Chains A and B, each alone.
Chain A
């Protein structure tokens, strides 16, 4: 049986949760098994997991699950895996999932793959899964040999597939330990798609000359329904918030479309964005290294080009 931990924020499932269940149900099909989803704490739309292939959806309730604590969540997910007899456990490769993966691997004595890119290859009785390594510069195939396999699924790696209907939520009675951490405050920008989940990202760098010029970037992002991001120097200079920084030391993203405006494309920046499916680079310097990693390029002054692109996008969206 494939057990999927479906992650929620503010009582609603994340897109990553639906992706994980889609992945889990396709894995279960390969194995001739079933996919079961697990939600923790109060989740209002958990039944929708059935649409993406969960044959059952379990919920564990408890006030200790209101805030994320890797120790508490690991204990509960591991108990569920043991009680339900899971042979594969799937979670999302998000800040929550990354914080759980190592703990769960140690707890379940499971071989793990962090940030999986593909469904398992089970030919010849093996269990092989690919993932990005060397900060996206290469792809490795991992072989898992333990009885329980543990996978965190990378964001935007597989398209959502609806195969079934909403299912009823069943309650699972497990021991929820007390948390040894105390959350004081959560500051989260509401109403935006978080960068790791974003399908379209509009990002800008030092070429913007100053934070007061970001209006044209935000206009373009708004028309495209994109999440905004920035390069490291921009975040370091406090032109933009720290959580917008994409690159080696910031957030690693893999959107379908990455638009880079006034970013030269240093190797450390590329390490965080090189798994984007399509990259558009707008830069006035034709020698900018980013053009070598781009699919489409525009050599020109961003202060002219970006408003024109916004206008063309607006016309396209209206048509």
Chain B
């Protein structure tokens, strides 16, 4: 079984977000970067479990600059077989997806994994884009994936429930919580990662069609208004008359 896992690098979940004074760029002073949690905890770990059970390889792919190498090495330490970095400074999801699809099209992967969304741009777009470029089925928000032969059975999270479906390989899947359990790389994994194959390839030309041009922080809450626990009529009044939400 040949698997590709698409990963991105994001600010840590507890990061305080700020921007440059003109609001055009993310201010990364003091920011710790991590592998996007959905890509790491669910997509990569499930991919590793599948090849540990069925045999095969897990290739990790990232589109970014050399500053991402540490994140990629962590993926190798968790259990990926090898890694590819497309050497670019991406500004749009369609550009990223195009790079991944161009690399993947000659490789004939059985499954291409990505996380359900990145926690920075929250677009949830790259998986579907890769699937469309490669003309493959795309199963989004999968919280469970089992495979027998070439048939995969997946649980897909939908509003207020779950959809259970089957698909034949090859396909693209985006992983949601519960697909796997987070793995902490051990010392052996970290040592092995140093000698695993890791190639850097140049990007293909592709235009950015939608880019962020300005960022603002939402208005800060003006402070909580405390209501006595003995006076819930007052809370109801405030919600009705002041907040106008009931």
Interface residues of A (CB under 8 A from B): 68-71, 74, 94-96, 98-107, 109-115, 128, 131-146, 180-189, 192, 194-197, 200, 224, 242-243, 245, 248-250, 252, 256-257, 267-268, 271, 274, 277-278, 280-281, 291-301, 304-305, 308-309, 311-313, 315-316
Contact = CB atoms under 8 A, between A and B. Distances in A.
A248 B128 CA distance: 21
Contact of A137 (B17, B135, B228, B230): B17
Given A112-B125, A133-B122, A70 B245 contact: no
A103 B176 CA distance: 19
B227 A298 contact: yes
Given A98-B117, A135-B122, A139-B216, 6 more contacts: A102-B93, A188-B160, A194-B159, A249-B38, A274-B218, A296-B239
B122 A294 contact: no
Given A94-B159, A182-B166, A249-B177, A278 B243 contact: yes
B229 interface: yes
A21 to B, nearest CB: 19
B62 interface: no
Contacts of A301: 229
A227 B129 CA distance: 33
A140 B128 contact: no
A102 B240 CA distance: 40
B235 A183 contact: no
Contacts of B210: 111-113, 142-146
Majority DSSP secondary structure for residues of A touching B: mixed
A278 B224 contact: no
B128 A101 contact: yes
Contacts of B218: 136-139, 274
B68 interface: no
13 contacts: A71-B135, A99-B140, A102-B128, A133-B215, A138-B19, A145-B208, A180-B137, A181-B165, A184-B165, A188-B162, A194-B160, A291-B224, A295-B221
Nearest to A137: B17
B167 to A, nearest CB: 5
A141 to B, nearest CB: 4
B229 A141 contact: no
Interface string B198-224: 000000000111111111111001001
A305 B232 contact: yes
B235 A280 contact: yes
